[in-house]
Structure 1
Amino acid sequence: MSKVPKVKLNSGYEIPQFGLGTWKSKPGEVEQAVKDAIDIGYRHIDCAYIYGNEKEVGAALKAKFEDGTVKREDLFVTSKLWNTFHRPDLVPGAVKESLKNLGLEYLDLYLIHWPQGYKEDGETFPRDAAGNILFSDVDYVDTWKAMEEVAKRGYAKSIGVSNFNKSQLERVLAAASIKPAVNQVECHPYLNQSKLIDFCRSKGIAVTGYSPLGSPDRPWATPEEPQLMDDPKLKELAKKYNKTPAQILLRYPIERGVITIPKSVTKSRIQQNFEIFDFSLSKEDVAYLDTFDCNGRFCPMTASLGHKYHPFEHDDY
C-alpha cells in the first residue's frame, strides 16, 4: 500500500497528495524519470500540453502498464489546457490531443492552465513583429463551460483550474454547473498562499502547489535572486529534523493539506523527494515556515503582463 495520503475532491474522486511534476523535464529524460517515479511508488503524474513532453510521459506509462507494475486505475494523471485553446470550440480537440499524446482513454484531472488566453490557430506563443505575445479576449468563464463538457463526455474524471486568483474563481463558481475540483498554484514558504488556500477550502476546492522547491532551474532566474533551498533558516530547520532542505520544503505542504508535485529527472532525487512520510513537522515549525513569506513569486508569467485576465496584476491573491 502506498504511504502517500489522498485528498478527496469535490468530484468524489481522490488525488494522491504527492506526485511527480514534469514541467521543464527535457525530452530524453522525462520517460525514464516517470518510470523511476512509478517504480519508487509515485502514483500521481502532473503533465501539461505546453510542456512538450506528453508523448514521452505516455511511453513511460505504457511501459509500466505492460510490465505489470501498475494498472491505469492505480495512477492519477493530470494535464492542462494551453492558452491558445481557450475558445470553447477548441477545447475538445485540445483534450483529445493530450489523451493521444499520453496514450490514455481518460485523464483523472484536466485544468485550464492559465486564466488568460492567447491568439488561437497558430503558434503556442503567438507574437507580433515586436515580439509581444498576441492575446485572445476569450472569457475563461466560457472556457470553463467547455471544460464542463470535457467532464460530461468522460475525457476527464475531474476538472479544475490553475493560476486563478480569488476573484477569477468567484466568477467561475458563479457560472459553473460543475465546480472546479482543484486550483493549482505556485506554493512554497516564500509564497505560502495562505489567503488563497483558505478561500479555496471555503469553497470545497483542493489546492495543488507547484514549484515547492522554489523552481531553482527556472529559465528566467537571475544570479541575484534568492534561492529558496539556500535559505539559512531553512537549512537550520533541516538539521533539526535530520532531513535535507528539499525534504522540509516538501513536507511543509503535506502538513498544510496541500497537494505537491516536485519535478526531478534524477532517480536519486526522485527517491529522496519521496522520503517525507517517515516524519512530521511540528505545528510550531509549520507556522515558522509560514513567516518566510515575502510574496516571493518565482513564476510571474511576465509574457502575459497587460492581459485583462492576468491573475497576478489586479488582485491581492
Structure 2
Amino acid sequence: MSPSPTLILGDGSEMPQIGMGTWKHYGAKAADAVYTGLQAGYRLIDGACDYGNEQGCGAGLRRAVEEGLVKRNDVWVVSKLWNTFHRKERVKEAVTRSLADWGVSYFDIYYVHFPISLAYVPPEERYPPGWFFDGESQVKHDPVPLRETWEALEELVDAGLIRHLGVSNMCSALLMDLLKYARVKPSVLQIEIHPYNVQTRAVEYAQSQGIAVTAYSSFGPLGFHELNMPKSLRTQSLFTHPVVSSVALAHDVTSAQVVLRWATQRGLAIIPKSDTKEQMLQNLRSEDLSLTEEEMSAISGLDVGLRFNDPADAFAGCHIFS
C-alpha cells in the first residue's frame, strides 16, 4: 500500500490527508478497527474524549506498535477537548486522561471539539460527560471565554503534551477572533463537509490563513442513520444520488470513493470511518481517482447547507440554563 498523500501544515509538518475516523467504534471493535486501519496503511487516527472509546483505540495502537507494524512516531494520534473541560484548571485534566487512555505521551493534534463551554461533570460521576448536565436533558452552560481555554492548551503545547492545536465545529467569525490573540495558532480546522454542506467560504478563509481543513461526516446522512436522526432519515443517501452514482459509474469506482475524492481534490483532509478492511482499502484508493472540473462542479452543486451535527438539534426541547 502506497503511503497516504499529505497536507503541509504551517510548521512544515506533513499531516496524512486520509485518516481514519473512530466515532461509534467501541470496546474490542475500536481496538480491532484501529489495528486493522494501521495494517491497511492509515497513519492518522482521529479520536475524541466524547467518543467514549479511547481506551479501545489505544489498545489497537499498542498492539500494532508491539507487533512492529508501526512505530509510535509513524502515527498521528488525534483527540479532542470536550465541552465540560473548558475552564483553565480542567484542560490539563482532560488531556492527561485522554493520553492515559490512549497509552501515549503526546497528541499529534488536539482539537477544541466545540466552541461551547458546558458545566463541569466530575469523571467519577460520568465519563465521558456528554451534552447533558444530568445525563438526560439539562444543558448547563459555563461562561468560559475561548481565550481562557486556548491559553491553557498553549501551555500543554509548551510542555510537549500536544504537537498541534486544532479547532472543530468553529465558524469563520470565531476563528478570526481566535487568530487575533492565539500565541500558538491552530494548525487544522475540522468541520462537517460533504456535498450537501460544501462550506466553500469557510474552507477558503481557513486555507487563506494557512490552516488545513479536515472534513468529517464525508458521507453526509449515512453516519447519522444508526442514531435514527430524523434529518438524516429523510435525506437521500449520497451513494444513490444520480449525480454521484453517475460519476462512479463513469469511473468504475464506488460512490464512496467519488465523495471522498471530491473532498481531497479540494485540498481537504478526510477521516472516514470504516467497518471492514475492504472499505478501509477502498477509501485509501480514492486518491487514484481524478475527477473532471465538470464532475467536481456537479457534485458541489448538491449543496443545500445541510448540517447533521448541529448542537441546536441536540438541545431542542431541552431545559437550558447557565
Query: Do both proteins adopt the same fold according to a TM-score greater than 0.5, normalized to the shorter chain?
Result: yes
Contact 2:221/2:235 (8 A) holds in 1: no
Contact 1:25/1:264 (8 A) holds in 2: no
The DSSP-based 3-state class of the residue aligned with 1:120 is coil
Which position in structure 1 is the counterpart of 2:205?
199
- Partners of 1:82 and 1:241 in 2: CA distance: 41
Indicate whether 1:164 and 2:149 are aligned.
Answer: no
Q: 1:278 to 1:100 in 2, by over 3 A?
A: same
Shift, 1:133, TM fit: 1.3
* 1:162-185 residue CA offsets vs partner (Å, 9 max, x unmatched): 000011101111111111101100
Which position in structure 2 is the counterpart of 1:12?
12
Indicate whether 1:155 and 2:161 are aligned.
Answer: yes
The DSSP-based 3-state class of the residue aligned with 1:277 is helix
Q: 1:16 to 1:281 in 2, by over 3 A?
A: same
Amino acid at match of 1:289: I
Aligned residues, how many?
A: 307
Q: 1:220 to 1:299 in 2, by over 3 A?
A: farther
* 1:235-290 residue CA offsets vs partner (Å, 9 max, x unmatched): 11110111111010111111011000001222221222122122211222112211
Which position in structure 2 is the counterpart of 1:183?
189
Match of 2:276 among 248, 254, 266: 266
The DSSP-based 3-state class of the residue aligned with 2:295 is helix
Greater Cα shift, 128-137 or 175-184 = 128-137
Q: Over the residues paired in the alignment, what is the CA RMSD in angstroms? A: 1.9
Written as runs of structure 1 = structure 2, the 5 A alignment for 1:297-316 is 297-301=307-311, 302-304=313-315
Gaps of 5+ in 1: 308-317
Contact 1:238/1:244 (8 A) holds in 2: yes
Written as runs of structure 1 = structure 2, the 5 A alignment for 1:64-103 is 64-103=64-103
- Partners of 1:6 and 1:99 in 2: CA distance: 25
Written as runs of structure 1 = structure 2, the 5 A alignment for 1:1-317 is 2-122=2-122, 123=126, 124=129, 125-127=131-133, 131-218=137-224, 219-222=227-230, 223-301=233-311, 302-304=313-315
Contact 2:243/2:298 (8 A) holds in 1: no
* 1:72-123 residue CA offsets vs partner (Å, 9 max, x unmatched): 1111111000000000111111111111000101110000000001111344
- Partners of 1:41 and 1:224 in 2: CA distance: 35
Contact 1:133/1:303 (8 A) holds in 2: no
Normalization by structure 1: what TM-score? 0.92
- Partners of 1:182 and 1:220 in 2: CA distance: 30
* 1:156-211 residue CA offsets vs partner (Å, 9 max, x unmatched): 11001100001110111111111110110001111111100000011111100000
Greater Cα shift, 219-228 or 255-264 = 219-228
Shift, 1:217, TM fit: 3.4
The DSSP-based 3-state class of the residue aligned with 2:286 is coil
The DSSP-based 3-state class of the residue aligned with 1:117 is coil
Gaps of 5+ in 2: none
Percent of aligned positions that are identical = 37
